[in-house]
Structure 1
Amino acid sequence: MRCLVVADLHYSLPQLDWLVSAAPQFDLVIFAGDALDIGSTVDFRAQIVVVKKYLALIAAQTRVILCSGNHDLDERNAEGEKISRWISEVRELGIACDGDNLAIGDTLFTVCPWWDGPLVKQRIVDQLRAASLNRPRRWIWAHHAPPANSPTSWGGKRFFGDVELVQWAMQYQPSMVISGHVHQSPFITDGSWFDRLGQTWVFNAGLQPGRPPTHIVLNLDENKAFWLAAGEAQWIDLSAPLKRPAATIENPPDWLTSLGRIADPSLARPRAAAG
């Protein structure tokens, strides 16, 4: 099974265009939060409408997982905690979203919401406890914030990770945690796109402008993870101990190189009219 991992697209339409084009090459697309951008000049409600249309296009081609990030929160619950109501609506498209579990073969994917207070945090606690009772050999979480005190949450001056996530990961030891949130981690000194907590691999693809977005490909059949960014391409062996730095991709498979050849529709020009 090959999984395409992205996060923090923040209403970048060129990056969403690329994601639609790339999706058919994968068995699963994992969107680890922050599809929207609260700082955009585009009305938040309009962003939701547009992003849901993109998600429908992707879901028509492959399986999709979407967890909420801090930019995706559009409502407050009765207790005043911020939640993402619109993300719960994409379940109608067949997308696994906040609070869901998705089993594919021998792998269970658990989709965690962004938590803003004790009520939603307790829902995650209950969700993980219930999922752990019948966990298969491979258990992967989507959780927008990376763990605290990890290179995947290093911002250059301090860590921006989730302390609770560290405790949950150490308790249950999932196979992987897919995150985002801290945009610069993979590109700065002491930061990284990957880490390991005990037996748990942790990933954060990071953010760069333009297309394609920075992304990670998980080849679960071969136990490999690939990270691709502008001018950089690295991979790690998931069956080996943690080792830094990651290896450079020297002989990429055809399916991987084809991602860099996806045409940009914004560059298309209409044929000049004869006259």
Structure 2
Amino acid sequence: MRPASVEYTSPPEPDLFFIMDGRHFAGAGAAPVGDDEVAHTLLTQIPTMRLLLTSDLHYRLRHYDWLLGVAARFDAVVIAGDHIDISSTVSDRVQIAALSASLTALSHESRLLVCSGNHDLDSRNPQGEKTAAWLDAVRSGTLAIDGDTVHIADTMFTVCPWWDGPHAREAVAALLAEAASKRTGRWIWVYHAPPEGPLSWTGKRHFGDPALPALIAQYAPSAVLCGHIHEAPHKKDGSWFDRIGNTWLFNAGNQIGDIPARIEIDFDAQVARWITMEGVEEQALG
């Protein structure tokens, strides 16, 4: 049985520079290095967190191809559930094979975090509740999936599975409780369904996750990265961002075409940008 929380750490940082007689050294016994190299190395030592969020790609492989071309620009890429298209004539088995290859390729370009959504469920747990067991096969040191807690730079991420019943819901609560004990700073959840509010609004009704508000109130994560409701950012009274207490919540929504709707979040610059075919909206996070 795999533990509920698996931690992967970023590669070790290079040795800090020290200065002696006006010259810069990379470590004890090292030769002097130039100012340009010092500037480059010092910049790489400053923790950053710039991430790309999208979701609900539903087997649009051209969206995954587009992500492959931009992933290296970000410290982390998040796909917040609903990878499979259950209405497609392509079988789930074939979709899973193609999606697994795409996710693996993406994880070679950037740290990748993917959670399951309600369309991704191919198996059942011992209690008979649906799960996305196929994601287990793509987990790696650079690809975090349901049930993983990972550290990237100065940020801890917890990836939450879609819950299909009380046992899976309790497992999510236990996952977050364990991760909370390890929190030292910024903590971000990947969680497919948003809570009831502007991110869950279809234009006619809400489809919010009933368990999430209490979990946010209990743990106050820095941010929750969601999806699920395609229309929410595009509808009157809907939105691509929300805030509950000190917790920011995001849902990029969905759009037609070859490029996914997405949100770029720069936690160091304290800004988020929602980017769609209609343009760019920006929200300060300060």
TM-score (norm 2): 0.81
Report the structure number with the largest CA radius of gyration: 2
Q: In the alignment, which residue of structure 2 is the partner of 1:206?
A: 253
**Partners of 2:234 and 2:195 in 1: CA distance:** 17
Q: CA RMSD in A?
A: 1.0
Deviation at 1:89, TM superposition (A): 1.6
Question: Which residue in 2 is equivalent to 1:62?
Answer: 110
- The alignment-based identity, stated in percent, is 47
What letter is aligned with 1:170? A
Residue 249 of structure 1 corresponds to which residue in structure 2?
Answer: none
- Is 1:173 the counterpart of 2:194? The answer is no
In structure 1, the residue matched to 2:137 is 89
Separation in structure 2 between the aligned mates of residue 43 and residue 147 of structure 1, nearest angstrom = 31
Equivalences, count: 238
Give the distance between the partners of 2:129 and 2:170, measured in 1 at CA. 12
Determine if the alignment matches structure 1 residue 221 to structure 2 residue 268: yes
Moved beyond 2 Å, runs of 4+: none
> After superposition, what is the alpha-carbon deviation per residue over 1:171-198, rounded to whole angstroms, capped at 9, x for unaligned?
1110100000000000010000000011
Contact residue 56 and residue 93 of structure 1 kept, 8 A: no
Secondary structure of the corresponding residue to residue 46 of structure 1: helix
Q: In the alignment, which residue of structure 2 is the partner of 1:152? A: 199
8 Å Cα contact 2:110-2:142 kept in structure 1 = no
**1:211 to partner: Cα distance:** 2.0
For each residue in 1:178-229, what CA deviation from the matched residue of structure 2 results, as whole angstroms up to 9, or x when unmatched? 0000000000100000000111101000001112100001111111111001
Give distance in 2, aligned partners of 1:92 and 1:237: 33
Residue 175 of structure 2 corresponds to which residue in structure 1?
127
Three-state SS of the structure 1 residue aligned to 2:208 is: coil
**Which letter does structure 2 place at the counterpart of 1:10?**
H
Distance, in Å, in 1 between the alignment partners of 2:184 and 2:69 is 31
Correspondences of 1:244-259 after superposition (within 5 Å): none
Q: What is aligned with 2:30?
A: none
The corresponding residue for 2:86 is 38
Supply the distance in 1 between the matched residues of 2:87 and 2:125 (Cα, whole angstroms).
22
Instruction: Return the match for 1:52 from 97, 100, 105.
Output: 100
For 1:21 and 1:136, locate their aligned partners in 2 and report how far apart those are by CA, in whole Å: 33
**Counterpart AA for 1:206:** G
Shift of 1:93: 6.4
- In structure 2, the residue matched to 1:235 is 282
- CA deviation vs aligned residue, 1:7-58 (integer Å, no higher than 9, x gap): 0000001111101111111111111001111111111000000011111111
Which structure 2 residue ranges, 5 or more long, are not aligned? 1-48
Give me the TM-score of the superposition, normalised by structure 1. 0.85
